Amino acid sequence: MEQVGLAATGDITLWSLFMQAGIVVKIVILGLIGASIWTWAIIVDKSFSYGRTRRQYDRFEQMFWSGQSLEELYQSLQDRTTTGMGTIFVSAMREWKKSFERGARSPMGLQMRIDKAMDVALARETESLEARLGSLASIGASAPFIGLFGTVVGIMTSFQAIAGSKSTNLAVVAPGIAEALLATAIGLLAAIPAVIAYNKFSSDAGKLTARMEGFADEFSGILSRQIDERMQSRQAAE
C-alpha cells in the first residue's frame, strides 16, 4: 500500500505527503493554496491602495482649506480623475452649477439635490474601498472547514489502507494521518491571514469612509450658506 511504502522510505516531507495523498485531498490542498495566494494578493493591493488613498485625502484637504475659491478648485479638478473627497466635491459642484444655470429658485430643493449627489458619490467611493474585502471574509470563514473536509477524507482513506494491510502498526498509520492533517494545516494557513487582514482593512475602510462623510457634512454646510447668500442677492436684485 502507498502508506506502507511511504513509511518504509521514511520520506515524510510536505511534498511527499502531498504526492501520496488521494485525489480529493490534493484538490482540497490546491484549492486552499490558491485561496492563500489570492488572500496575499488582496493584502498587498489593499495595503498600497489604502496608503495611497490617505495621501490623496490629505492633499485634497490641504487644497480645499488653502483659501482658494470653490470655483477655482472645481475648475482644477473637473477634468481630472478624482477619488474620495475629490469625487464628492466635484459631484456637488457639478449639481450646484447645473441648478443655478437652470435658474433654481428653491433653496431646499437645491440643497436636497446637492446632498443626494454627494450621497451617491460617497456610496460609490465606499463600495470601491470595500471591494474584495468580502473575499477575505469568505476565505477566513470557510478555509478551515474546507481543510477539515480534506482531513476527514484523508483519514477515511488511511483507515481503509490500514484495514487492507491488516496492521495497526504506527508506521502504517502515521503517514496517512499526516497526509490528512496537511489539509487542515493549509486551511488554517489560508484562513488566519485572511481573518486578520479582513479585520484590519475593514477598520481602515471605516475610518476613510468616516473622513469622507465628515467632509461631505462640512461641505454641505458651506454650500447651504452659499445658497442662502445667492438667493438673498437674487431676491434683492428683483
- pLDDT tens readout for residues 5-36: 444 444 567 677 777 777 888 888 899 999 99
Residue-by-residue DSSP string for 94-145? HHHHHHHHTT---HHHHHHHHHHHHHHHHHHHHHHHTTTHHHHHHHHHHHHH
Residues for the chain: how many in total?
A: 238
Please choose, from the candidates 116, 95, 86, 111, the residue with its C-alpha nearest in 3D space to the C-alpha of residue 211.
86
Whole-model pTM: value is 0.82
CA 39 to chain centre: 10
Question: Per-domain residue ranges for the chain?
Answer: 2-237
pLDDT digit string (tens) for 189-225?
999 999 999 999 999 999 999 999 999 999 998 888 8
Neighbours of 106 (CB within 10 A): 12
Cβ-based neighbours of 68, under 8 Å, separated by 6 or more: none
